[in-house]
Amino acid sequence: MKDSLISPLPAIFRDSSLPVADFLGKLTCSKNLSPNTVLAYRTDLAQFFSFLLQHLGLDDLSAFEPAQVTTVDVRLF
């Protein structure tokens, strides 16, 4: 797989404790997904977390707790 498709992580995830890189790595290795599929997952995650930052009024993901996300938040996205 081309490294350019999976790295670097979008800026939104760089200082976060979320295991996004681990998740994307598992998709690549364990699930044997194509590079384009992994890129699509990465893009979707970046868009979703960007939405959450704005929607929840957070400056960055350091204050984010997954339990904050509700079904309504996902539907609004």
**Radius of gyration of the chain from its Cα atoms, rounded to whole angstroms:** 13
Q: Where are the domains of the chain?
A: 3-76
Q: What is the pLDDT of residue 76?
A: 96
Handedness of CA 25, 27, 29, 33 (dihedral sign): negative
Tens of pLDDT, residue by residue over 3-24, are: 444 556 677 777 677 788 888 8
CB atoms within 10 A of CB 3: 8
Q: How deeply is 49 buried, as exposed, middle or buried, from its count of CB atoms within 10 A (0-12, 13-18, 19+)?
A: buried
Task: Tell me the whole-structure pTM to 2 decimals.
Answer: 0.76
Percent of all residues in the chain with a pLDDT value above 70, rounded to a whole number: 87
